[in-house]
Amino acid sequence: MSEDLAARTARGRADEPDGTGRNRAAGRDWPGELRLGRLVAPAPVVLAPMAGVTNAAYRLLCRSFGPGLFVSEMVTSRALLAGGERTERMLRQDPAERPRSAQLYGVDPATVAAAVRLVRERDLADHIDLNFGCPAPKVTRRGGGAALPWKLDLYRRIVGAAVAAAGQAPVTVKLRAGIDATRLTFLDAGLAAEQEGAAAVALHARTAAQHYSGKADWSLIAQLKREVKTIPVLGNGDVFEADDAVRLFRETGCDGVVVGRGCLGRPWLFQDLACAAQGSAERLRPALGFVIDVVRRHAALLVEHRGCEAAGLRELRGHMSWYLRGYPVGGEFRARAHLVGSLAELDELLALLDPAAPHPGPAAGGARGRAGAARRPALPDGWLETRTCDAAQLAALGAAELDVAGG
Ligand SMILES: Cc1cc2nc3c(=O)[nH]c(=O)nc-3n(C[C@H](O)[C@H](O)[C@H](O)COP(=O)(O)O)c2cc1C
């Protein structure tokens, strides 16, 4: 962190007036409104982009439980420009999805700008989120994902180019805290995004080195909120229950919450979040029958959106253990659930369960999804020596873009 930045970080509190009237004070339970440029979000709640999860079927399911923004799986700018059935499918939105949020990944300003233009010209989304948070070694090894904001000049140009290409559509950025604890990038990157015209900045408060280990450090979200004065700051990391969101808002003063793993197998978390927004303590603690109905709906949506029963059911498999977590269904049932190949087979299997089985309490909640150990981030040779990107590094980055998957 630069000295200047360190000094700015040290001073100020989230409850100081900022003169814009847009920053809220820490200590309030729930923000009133989340505005991304001209787009007013239905709620200050965002379904985090999750590769392999947040397809149209899952987004629709989550949306049916409560308001928010529901972000697509990430697609790379180059893959989008190259065309292709899989990429198109990943960005396809159901007519019932409004507003539509799409996440793009890119490492080259011109390519990102062209991808953003394509999204707008084909009317594929109302809001574009840029991914600068992926910690996967195969991405950071080339300088992409969470490694990219270290090269502040390149990062800034990508954000600026995307904003210019997006016209009236808001562009937001999604960041990690930095490369590791000694190389934090989120403040520089958050301020640069604000200066380049981004409509909001979301921070997953872990470094790339942390991967998904340990705990998200929400104090970094509070720091970012103190620094970024004119656009919303969204907090992300370890919101597994609606009450975690209440705490996040209260502790950081952030303007919106981004929820990822907490809704895996629990799309109804959006209902709990809507209750929390009203100040209600009511939370859904469903009996197994409710879960069974949601699994059926999820399966039907997946089949409809994949246009293929076998493919839809294959995708559902990954979700089954999340849905059934804590419920007394037995190991054999869980094993069979992973083999289901048709909607009829799924119905047959679910009919074996006792719909009256009550909610299992804490066993069904808590952390879920990716975890894993901290590890030293893989980076290109010499990456950390300067904060500017040389031609060789740029070329390596571009060449690797087609290998990227979300994270
Ligand atoms: C399966 C999975 C896939 C993910 N894919 C993406 C992605 O494509 N783009 C992205 O920006 N973040 C991705 N993430 C990170 C999440 O958006 C989110 O930042 C992270 O999970 C922390 O939030 P949480 O603690 O609420 O899960 C992914 C996370 C998971 C678990």
Does domain 3-283+390-403 match CATH 3.40.50.2300?
Answer: no
The protein residue with its alpha carbon nearest to ligand 1, atom 2, reads: 50
Mutate to test the pocket of ligand 1, among 45, 46, 50 (most ligand atoms within 8 A of CB): 50
Query: What pLDDT does residue 402 have?
Result: 63
Query: What pLDDT does residue 405 have?
Result: 52
Burial label for 335, CB within 10 Å (0-12, 13-18, 19+), is: exposed
Q: What angle do CA 92, 139, 260 make, to 5 degrees?
A: 50
Distance 73 CA to ligand 1 centre (A): 9
| 213 Cβ neighbours under 8 A, 6+ residues apart | 206, 371, 372, 373, 374
* The residue type at 237: G
Query: What pLDDT does residue 11 have?
Result: 28
* The residue type at 345: E
- Which pair of structure tokens corresponds to residue 263? 């809704």
Q: Which residues are catalytic?
A: 134
Distance 48 CA to ligand 1 centre (A): 6
Q: Which residues line ligand 1 (CB under 6 A)?
A: 48-53, 73-74, 103, 131, 133, 174, 204, 236-239, 259-262, 369-370, 406-407
Digit-coded pLDDT (tens) for 165-206: 999 999 999 999 999 999 999 999 999 999 999 999 999 999
pTM: 0.92
Low-confidence ranges of the chain (pLDDT < 70): 1-28, 402-407
Query: What pLDDT does residue 22 have?
Result: 39
The protein residue with its alpha carbon nearest to ligand 1, atom 1, reads: 50
Query: What pLDDT does residue 88 have?
Result: 77
Burial label for 337, CB within 10 Å (0-12, 13-18, 19+), is: buried
Q: Other CB atoms closer than 10 Å to residue 398's CB: what's the count?
A: 17
Digit-coded pLDDT (tens) for 268-287: 999 999 999 999 999 999 99
